[in-house]
Amino acid sequence: MSGQRTDPALPRARGELSAGVTGYLRGDGSLPDPGAPRTAEPYGDDLQLALYVCYELHYRGFAGVRPELEWDPPLLAVRAALEDRFLGALRHDTPVAPGLDEILDGLLVEPVHGSGVSWFLQDQGELHHLRDYAMQRSLYHLKEADPHAWVLPRLSGRAKAGMAAIEYDEFGAGRADRVHARLFAGLMTDLGLDNAYGGYLDEGRAPMLALVNLMSMFGLHRRLRGALVGHFAAVEITSSPASRRLARAMKRTGAGPAAEFFYTEHVEADAVHEQVVRRDVIGGLLDDEPALAADIAFGIGATSYLEDRLGDRLLADWRS
């Protein structure tokens, strides 16, 4: 994360959809038919990787890929078909939720003895588990605040001010060395990992790709601004207690000071952010657009659903 910038390489394909997209970007292949995603596994490796690659053109892009392909009409048609399949599955599979206030209150409830990934890492995790976890989460944390910034032009008043205040913290409050993506790069260095942006895309499991794709999809579409705020709320409200457990895991295993600091920083910062998100970002948005309450609830529910899928996959892999 320091020195001269290098863009990531295109990943290895995982099926016909991702092979078509990556081949097209390299200039030596044809795009898949826009109808092909309709029968693809919506949470599978092939569709999620193809969609991730399409979205990455709006972030850093890939080495050797022409920048103008970001807005290439045939590629956008394929991306839209991938999105439709993914979003349709999420709307079908995300549990029907109670009222928004009840959902937000539920995010604050912490079990005395939990069973998720952060609990496992706190109590039993070894360094190889922490390295695997960091490799997966690097696809998220090395671009952590970027997709959330896309919602700023779609908000106004109190919601925009609250969102901008939190984003300012995420981007280091004016200090390059405190940008949260850079802090995560320090964590990766402590764990003996390559901290290059996109360096572990080939190792990314499908549920992790789906989580990153979720925030990219919500951020890129103005019609999904409520869902993006819901996703953001789910992340910020649940982050502080999980970060406390992960900080304990880093300390117990001797992962290193930067690894521990990344999570202790989030314990403090996200405890404050949780209040701002609920009072100003969500409260302000609903004051302006009360009809978006259902979209906010969907964003929270979809985030929780995909986080559970990722947690189940990681725990199953580690325990096997």
Read off the pLDDT of residues 204-236 as tens digits, 9 standing for 90 and up.
Answer: 999 999 999 999 999 999 999 999 999 999 999
Separation CA 32–CA 39 (nearest Å): 13
**Residue 173 Rama label (left phi>0; alpha psi -120 to 50; beta):** left
Q: How many CB atoms lie within 10 A of CB 124?
A: 12
Predicted pLDDT of residue 101: 87
- Name residue, tokens 């919602």: 151
* Mean pLDDT in residue range 166-177: 93
Q: How many CB atoms lie within 10 A of CB 188?
A: 25
Which strand (E) or helix (H) includes residue 265? helix 257-276
Beta carbons of 64 and 18 less than 8 angstroms apart: no
Q: How many CB atoms lie within 10 A of CB 2?
A: 9
Beta carbons of 182 and 176 less than 8 angstroms apart: yes
Beta carbons of 219 and 147 less than 8 angstroms apart: yes
Predicted pLDDT of residue 210: 98
Read off the pLDDT of residues 105-124 as tens digits, 9 standing for 90 and up.
Answer: 888 777 767 789 999 999 99
Read off the pLDDT of residues 228-273 as tens digits, 9 standing for 90 and up.
Answer: 999 999 999 888 889 999 999 999 999 999 999 999 988 876 667 8
Report whether pLDDT(276) > 70: yes
